[in-house]
Amino acid sequence: MITAEELIQVTTSEEPSPFKLAIVVGFWNNGSVKIQFDGEEEPSEKEYAFLASYKPYSGDRVLVAKVSNTYVILGSVRYKIKPLNYITSNMADDVNGNMNIDYMYVDPSTLILHVRRKNGAWSSYNPR
């Protein structure tokens, strides 16, 4: 069990955070992401891996995590911005004339349309 003194040491530790923020400033010739860490004057000369679920765009503000001797891009950080693939809807009826649609979005990796009705029920429609 941890003592009060050990807890104070852990919470007041000045170890650097394993996370950093950066900006996607471009792409290398092989297509990997080029980033510039916050507080640095020049972009990094290293290539960094990113999670498969993240689709990098130039100008994205990204969260990176220290893993071994490098960083991995976890994804973009957005603040007060509606997700790019979310569409709010005030349509009266869905395609079958059923309940009102609350909102819908398209999954960019599968192009499947997901619809949520005002009663909370979800439906998915595959692209033709």
Tell me the domain boundaries of the chain: 4-76, 86-125
pTM over 0.75: no
The CB-side HSE value for 53 (13 A sphere, CA atoms) comes to 4
Per-residue pLDDT of the chain (128 residues; tens, 9 = 90+): 666 677 666 556 567 788 999 999 988 888 788 999 999 999 999 999 899 888 888 888 999 999 988 999 999 888 766 555 555 444 444 455 555 677 777 877 777 888 777 777 777 787 65
| CATH H-level, domain 4-76: superfamily | Nucleic acid-binding proteins (2.40.50.140)
